[in-house]
Structure 1
């Protein structure tokens, strides 16, 4: 056996020593050469923009100050001259974004949000941020501003500056003036462009911007973790986001998928994503330490002089980034001494709905396309003024859409309403009068049976479930024994709310940690007029429309950076805000407050036993607890509504 092995090895060595005669590569056929059966069938490329297209498309690699080049797509209608530049900086693939449909018509190629702009000579530019898709460099999620958390001299503000500098000098069809726009992550990059802005940046419209990923955007809300952040982290940080990385959980109910895994950390470890860098950042930083507070964009903006006219936009039912735009408005509005540089817009939309069709949301139907109406009547005139020298459109300081009555409100400030408490009372009632006697209502919160955030089966990747979930009829949980519902009498007159409702909840738990979920709900009359249904939409009779839903992780009641075990049975006061709204509760409707202790699997389960890091909770830590919600006297729980006196 040894001899045979040596003989084979010798033969292989001899073969390796034999010279290899390289075969000549076949010459590429001439462009117009006749084809044969052996003509190679792979063409080097195909240009989808044909000579008869009504637009021009250019792709350039724009150099940054450190030599990194960023993939940038420039599109404009043929014949454009002196066109303003409308820039977006994205992690979501500029190539595909700027080629929505294979067409020779610019309005079919670009997203619908640009329709009104391309007809008016705007140059549309979209760029891959560094390190992702077709740009060079290293990708860092929400790259921190150069400073304590970023020891380089490169961030999204410097990249925006360098990009705007190049664009303003190298597009002969433009007038050199730049506006920046974008939603979600693109809202974040839009805000970053305003920090030490290039002189050519004349206006900005950050939409649903990612501002503080711990307080209320994307990753956490008041300390409770949003589990779908794992999917996003894996997809965006694997293979320059080109590989289509996804957790291979298969089809089925997300409720069971996450419940069966154990803790959310167990889920990450099960699927082998616990070593993905951004997943590690999430798991290793569960509290609001400087890791998160040092990345809060509203804090950065508060420290900057106000140089760029800014229109901040958010959807009233934004299911991803409801926190950011109002937080930035609060941070920078005091610098707007003439009340003409900063405006806040709240529309009747889901996340990024401003850039799509705004006829409806879930079961709700509005009077026309509210998104297009806003873009045409307000957003484009705003850009036209600063980028084209058009007359001042007198942009209102605050523009909000009054749901319930379906019209736009223009206001001088935000919030407009005066905080007025709606108290929870006895016999499951809600009242504007404070109960005199102290009492409490109890329920059992069992982590093995968490309250679902939408009806099961749940698929958070399904846009038909995810996008409208914040307007889903809450009757599917109103009768659960672990959900408390307090309902007012039918309203005798309209109640107009303009601002962020504020929760003031007095509660105790038999455990050592707890989550508290509070909702404010518009309960429709239990009757069905003829126009209550339209096509496939459900009847609104008895509909329980949520006007605000938010969660608070109990361990942070004494400081977001100082998680502490709760004392069993001790009453604590939990204060937190619901999303900003402009809504009219109509006569005959009722107002409802709901309280519960889970919202699953949107948020991870609280084990209700204090552990240092919930990502590492063990199965034995998950225990049922008795939750007590207090009402009346010195422990009068309420939702304070910013009510406008009509």
Structure 2
């Protein structure tokens, strides 16, 4: 007998009233600050969700400055720790800098940018300013202007002065604030900012795609509140990306082409006008600074190592910016300047470098421009931590990295016979060479396996990968390691080393990775685990198809010695006596960067399995790394 599926009447039960109120209204009894949430209208009618935290001290004094951050990372999460009645405990992220935010007595404002979380409007990754790429009348610059205009007119406790700061994407926003700024904006502090995503920040480095950032793109643009999560089917990211083959195929498997920024990246693998018109350093260089700016750069920034220095170089070239432009460089990973920061992994600095920055540099700088009665500011035009000696230096300019008079001598360190790093110029630059076979089926890992995904979930090893011991790579047959003799005197470099690689490949395309490394003595009495450590001081990748032009990809002529030139990231380092200098050369850095097939294809995003071929790579004796040696 078959049971009936006919609908049955739902029985009626006695009601039991809920104990949860329709809307709970928390009290603020005992709190040392007041929290306000507002929707601020922009010039096009879109309203942006904004959290305002006003210290109770400012309520009585009515002369507190405003310190603002605009973010795509959820203003409520960054400000809504209500487990404590104290403002310092309510703040997350870069607001660990409580000496600045709380002790300084600032009104704190955090705003969701257009199209993210509580704000209205449409989201565009690093929205370009109004112009050829953005025909609308609004951008991050105008949104900042309109927000500041509303804040100074509607917060009675403020003194009419506004500063803005932030890290990474939040650091891109202070740069936008400085573009045609509001008169009430008195200072801006971009930290580790996103500036040029193709040349050397989040998306590409010299044409090589940072494929492990694809999950960020997917999650950031998949929804207003980052509801859709990237998935993986392997513990080791190396295996995960190898199974997909190309970055384009990985995106296809995840449905990433539904999001606009990924479609744009697929369509613009070269440094064409689409990228060039978005480069913030080029944009800001068109006009003198109207607002004092402090650029904060991390010497081991694993995400945006290009942008801060690029902005500083562009703006410092204008005499009109003298006295308005400041630079801070510290021994940090991305965003570590707002932590205690006495070390990066095993590398110790001998002091709390982040604490020094927050208390001795950032707070006096902000106070000077934002407070009515601030004391005189003792902040140098350039504040730079010198690694190796592990000392802070106050400098008049950069890269002349010394406190007295000095000069920079460009000195070539040649990659010579027998894997020797030498100052001796070779008699025949193409007469001798070292070679290796680069096999895309076995790419060189960018760090010891298993490889983590990019992320900030503890144990946070991703943030320290730039200071990994490079001995893992130096033992591979597809990595050449050139080594100098032990130094008998200190050697200081300040600035960007220049790679002058004279190389050939049996393929028609190739990637080149060059690392400048400080090799520690075999034994270190004060820290035994650093005996023989290979600390990368500066390293980066270059995609060979862009040898002649970043804007146009061209095949490489096989088996012909050609010169490849590119700048490595900024260093301010002293190689100490007894240490050696090493230069490593390889042709893959996986899975952080996508594999070069080593056979020219129009778009590497769509390389097929049969396109990936082995290649014999030769590095000729005329190859060198030009070091900016301080004299």
1:268-307 matches, within 5 Å, as 268-307=251-290
2-structure distance, mates of 1:443, 1:546? 21
1:164-563 matches, within 5 Å, as 164-243=148-227, 245-337=228-320, 339-389=322-372, 390-416=374-400, 417-437=408-428, 438-463=431-456, 464-529=460-525, 531-532=526-527, 539-563=529-553
1-structure distance, mates of 2:99, 2:78? 14
Aligned residue for 2:258, secondary structure, equals coil
2-structure distance, mates of 1:251, 1:220? 24
Report Cα offsets for 1:315-352 as digits up to 9, x if no partner.
Answer: 00000001111111111112244731101111000001
1-structure distance, mates of 2:176, 2:312? 15
> Is contact 2:289–2:321 with CA below 8 Å preserved after alignment?
no
- Per mean C-alpha deviation after superposition, the further-off stretch among 518-527 and 75-84 is 75-84
2-structure distance, mates of 1:52, 1:485? 62
Aligned residue for 1:241, secondary structure, equals coil
Aligned equivalent of 1:88, options 55, 63, 69: 69
1-structure distance, mates of 2:396, 2:304? 24
Aligned residue for 2:545, secondary structure, equals helix
Paired position in structure 2 for 1:625: 615
2-structure distance, mates of 1:212, 1:461? 20
> Is contact 1:340–1:395 with CA below 8 Å preserved after alignment?
no
| Change over 3 Å in CA distance of 1:557–1:47 after alignment to 2 | farther
TM-score by length of 2: 0.93
- Per mean C-alpha deviation after superposition, the further-off stretch among 52-61 and 620-629 is 52-61
CA drift at 1:103: 1.4
CA drift at 1:270: 1.6
> Is contact 1:306–1:336 with CA below 8 Å preserved after alignment?
no
| Change over 3 Å in CA distance of 1:542–1:194 after alignment to 2 | same
> Is contact 2:233–2:240 with CA below 8 Å preserved after alignment?
no
Paired position in structure 2 for 1:29: none
CA drift at 1:50: 3.1
| Change over 3 Å in CA distance of 1:336–1:125 after alignment to 2 | farther
1-structure distance, mates of 2:40, 2:233? 40
Report Cα offsets for 1:77-101 as digits up to 9, x if no partner.
Answer: 2121311110110000010011246
| Change over 3 Å in CA distance of 1:189–1:484 after alignment to 2 | same
> Is contact 1:212–1:324 with CA below 8 Å preserved after alignment?
yes
Structure 2 unmatched runs, 5+: 401-407
Aligned residue for 2:317, secondary structure, equals helix
TM-score by length of 1: 0.91
Paired position in structure 2 for 1:28: none
CA drift at 1:52: 1.0
| Change over 3 Å in CA distance of 1:228–1:45 after alignment to 2 | farther
Aligned residue for 2:610, secondary structure, equals helix
Aligned equivalent of 2:564, options 574, 586, 597: 574
- Per mean C-alpha deviation after superposition, the further-off stretch among 265-274 and 187-196 is 265-274
* 1:71 counterpart = 2:67: no
2-structure distance, mates of 1:41, 1:488? 74
Paired position in structure 2 for 1:53: 31
Paired position in structure 2 for 1:644: 630
1-structure distance, mates of 2:255, 2:104? 50
CA drift at 1:47: 4.9
CA drift at 1:461: 3.5
| Change over 3 Å in CA distance of 1:338–1:394 after alignment to 2 | farther
> Is contact 2:507–2:615 with CA below 8 Å preserved after alignment?
yes
Paired position in structure 2 for 1:62: 40
CA drift at 1:592: 0.3
The higher radius of gyration belongs to 1
2-structure distance, mates of 1:338, 1:259? 48
2-structure distance, mates of 1:47, 1:487? 67
- Aligned-residue Cα RMSD (Å) equals 2.0
